[in-house]
Structure 1
Amino acid sequence: MNLSVSRKLILNIGLFVVMIGIIIFVIRDSLGDIFSELAKTSLPVLIGVTVLGLASQIIEGYSIKSIAGKYNPEFTIRDGFFASAYSTFYRVVTFGTGSIVAEVIYYHKKGLKFSEGTGTSALRMITYKIALIVWSLFFLFVKSNAIQAQIANGIIWVIAGIAVTILIISALLILSLNINAQVFFVLICNRFFKKQKLREMVDRLNEQIYSLREAIQTFIRDRKAVVRVFCSNMAKLAVWYIIPFFILVHDHPQIDLLLTVALISFSVIIGGVLPAPGGIGGFEFVYVLLFRHVIGKVDAVSSLLLYRYATYLMPFLIGMVYVFITKQREIKHEIKAVKKES
């Protein structure tokens, strides 16, 4: 019997069991409120929110396909759809720490090099954050009075959120595209890291950054693809931003669409830069803070839970099903391999 094959099987089964345990824990303790809210939601609202959530997921799949397709033409919208769900699943089960690694591994399984997968993940993040900034600036221009009325110094908070987001984008682009920044990084590392193993790690990282730069430059040369990805991110956010209005208009027919969309845009840009595990807590805090003055705290929390269902829980569940199916296939394949070696 091949010991490495049997060890791989045991490891996969062990990981599968641990994963199920984490999922049960997360669903019971972190996502239980969302399921409770879904049980109280009327069927038309639930169907509408589900449709909007799926629509945003399909748009995200198209966006990812537009990036990854530059490196592997066989990469499909379906692959992009499940890439987003796969990443969200691992973001939940690793409490926000393993989503990027999981996403890059997924791309590698779909025929991309690791540098291309990293480039796809980085470009996905950059274009998403640029879309966040554009929507926030637009609503800051047309609805600045709304944020100022809800939070003291609200405009300053939004501008701060935009500024931090710009800094994140700039850091990613500088590290990815500027060779001088890469040389400076290597010089600093060589100065402080004297051990051979650390030097070798720096060299490998340097090679990955170089490959990443090539991957990103390959994409940005295609201006039409850049425009497609940017527009699809704007469209995805537009769908997300409509969800709270769709939820609230049934009980609050007087609510203003533009105000609702502006408040959710401000919630995302401010909450996205607040320190919180998995990027969840900061957004929730700002969302309730903004919407409670418009619809009351109870309805604000209810709409938040449904919004989280469409944008967070649904991709997680899709990713969970995908991971379960692929893991079961891997385990069955390894069991057959062990029997064959026996």
Structure 2
Amino acid sequence: MKLSINRKLILNILLFTVMIGIIIFVIRDSLGDIFTELGRTSLPVLLGVTALGLVSQVIEGYTIKNIAGEFNPQFTVRDGFFASAYATFYRVITFGTGSIVSEVIYYHKKELTYSEATGTSALRMITYKIALMVWALVFLVIKSSAIQAHIANGIFLVLAGVLVTLLIISSLLVLSLNINAQVLFVIICNRLFKRQKLRDIVDQLNNQVYSLRGAIKTFIRDRNAVIRVFCSNMAKLVVWYSLPFFILVKDYPDIDIWLTVALISFTVILGGVLPAPGGIGGFEFVYVLLFRNVVGKVDAVSSLLLYRYATYLLPFLIGMIYVLFNKQRQINHEIKEAKKEVND
């Protein structure tokens, strides 16, 4: 028994050390530009951006609470707040590969089954995507001339981005709500894909769809929860979309708030559609492309880095503190257990 405890303790210490190393590498190489920009930012702007970032995290916590709370009524806004930060932390240190898995594990630790946890994660993504589409269409009506002025065929590209998002959501919902569609999907995939690796991916997707079916059926029974989740997603995007205006208005007092809000809404939709040259992220490429015609390239890049701080780095830092605190507490507990075994 003592050997197993010592092995577990050594493994956790090793994982803790590796995690610290990855964090240092990511902060230095991947997030270094954001920290540099934070050092150049005035205190009032920095505090305001931080406050908006925290508000959006609280709203996200409320959103997750209303979804996960359908399966575990004890799930709180605080749990949802840290769920988002936890997933963001692992998305950063695993370079995008571990976000969903970590989120599901977090929900499972909060007494959701793996099926309910997977469904909660999928519902969170779907409701967020719906809010993105709604705001993009609203601002396309209000500021269609703005996107057309900055990108050739901009209206068509925004509509294409909305259509792609709609197809993804519709496919998931059809497969989840219609068992015959799911069976047909599996049959077609099994005929098309002969390699075991591809079939494993299909099986994994099939399990996720199955989990999503149960989650959707449970979730849509509570219409008030559906409304609350939709409204909270819309509200979170309002906070996110107000960030560029807040960042730029000090140096550009005449800037149009509706223009900046519309441009960031289009950026989010187009970020996944337009190809990005030179390895630049799609979101970053579109953001600079749209905002440089309004405030110049230098200020566009500066505002982009502050936007990324509020929506990406800040949740990462919160998640990092949460993970390291819990990992340290776990190691301390195992040290006590090891000492107890030795004394016994």
TM interval, shorter chain, is over 0.9
For the structure 1 residues 338 and 161, does the alpha-carbon distance in structure 2 shift closer, same or farther, using more than 3 Å as the test?
A: same
Is 1:292 aligned to 2:292, yes or no?
yes
Q: Deviations over 1:239-285 (max 9, x none)?
A: 00001000100000110000000000000111134578xx9811010
Counterpart of 2:15, as a letter, is L
3-state SS of 1:162 partner: helix
* Contact 1:143/1:262 (<8 A) preserved: yes
Contact 2:85 2:316 in 1 (8 A): yes
Correspondence list, 1:91-102, <5 A: 91-102=91-102
2:218 maps to: 218
Whole-angstrom distance in 2 between the partners of 1:185 and 1:98: 26
Distance 1:200 1:304, change over 3 A: closer
* Contact 1:122-1:172 at 8 Å conserved across structures: no
Counterparts of 1:67-82 in structure 2 under 5 Å? 67-82=67-82
1:125 maps onto 2:125 in alignment: yes
Question: Are the counterparts in 2 of residues 249 and 255 from structure 1 also a CA contact under 8 Å?
Answer: yes
Q: Please, which moves more after superposition, 8-17 or 261-270?
A: 8-17
Q: How many angstroms apart in 2 are the aligned matches of 1:285 and 1:195?
A: 36
The alignment status of 1:326 with 2:320, answered yes or no, reads no
- Structure 1 distance, partners of 2:310, 2:89, is 14
Cα deviation per residue 1:62-82 (whole Å; 9 max; x = unaligned)?
000000000000000000000
Amino acid at match of 2:247: I
State the match for 1:228 in structure 2: 228
TM-score by length of 1: 0.92
Structure 2 distance, partners of 1:174, 1:108, is 26
Deviation of 1:168 after TM superposition, in Å, equals 1.4
Cα deviation, residue 330, structure 1: 1.3
SS where residue 252 of structure 1 aligns?
coil
Q: How does 1:48-197 map to 2 (within 5 A)?
A: 48-188=48-188
Quote the offset at 1:89 in angstroms. 0.4
Percent identity at matched positions? 78
Q: Aligned with 1:210: secondary structure?
A: helix
2:73 aligned counterpart, secondary structure:
coil
| SS in structure 2 at match of 1:72 | coil
Native 8 Å contact 2:245 2:261 kept in 1: yes
Residue type of the alignment partner of 2:327: K
Q: Report Cα offsets for 1:290-336 as digits up to 9, x if no partner.
A: 00000000000000111111100000000000000111111122222
Residue deviations 1:127-150, cap 9 Å, x none?
A: 000000000000111101000101
Q: State the one-letter code of the partner of 2:16.
A: F
8 A Cα contact 1:267 1:283, kept in partner: yes
Shift of 1:216: 1.9
Higher mean alpha-carbon deviation, 17-26 vs 299-308, is at 17-26
Aligned partner of 1:335: which letter? Answer: I
Structure 2 letter corresponding to 1:112: L
The reply to whether residue 266 of structure 1 matches residue 266 of structure 2 is: yes
Q: How far, CA to CA, are the matches of 1:209 and 1:63 in structure 2?
A: 21
State the partner residue of 1:339: 339
Please give the TM-score of this superposition, normalised by the length of structure 2: 0.92
More deviation, 110-119/332-341:
332-341
Change (3 A) 1:103 1:280: farther
Q: Which amino acid aligns with 2:246?
A: F
User: Separation in 2 of the partners of 1:169 and 1:257?
Assistant: 30
| CA RMSD between the two structures | 2.5
Partners of 1:245 and 1:193 in 2: how far apart?
A: 48
**13-22 vs 332-341, which moves further:** 332-341
Deviations 1:16-56 (A, max 9, x none): 11111111111111111111111111111111111111111
1:235 aligned partner, one-letter code: A
In the alignment, the residues of structure 1 paired with residue 253 and residue 91 of structure 2 have an alpha-carbon distance, to the nearest angstrom, of 36
Distance 1:289 1:275 in 2: 12
Matched residues, number: 340
SS in 1 for 2:252: coil
Give distance in 1, aligned partners of 2:207 and 2:91: 27
Residues 263 and 291 of structure 1 are in contact (CA less than 8 Å); yes or no, is this contact kept in structure 2?
yes
CA distance in 1, matches of 2:300, 2:139: 20
2:84 alignment partner AA:
S
- Confirm or deny: 8 A CA contact 1:16 1:327 kept in the other structure: yes
Q: For the residues of structure 1 that align with 2:244 and 2:229, how far apart are their CA atoms?
A: 24
Mapped contact 2:88–2:99 kept (Cα < 8 A) = yes
User: Which 5+ residue runs of structure 2 have no aligned equivalent?
Assistant: none
Segment drifting more, 16-25 vs 298-307 = 16-25
Q: Distance in 2 between matches of 1:5 and 1:198?
A: 38
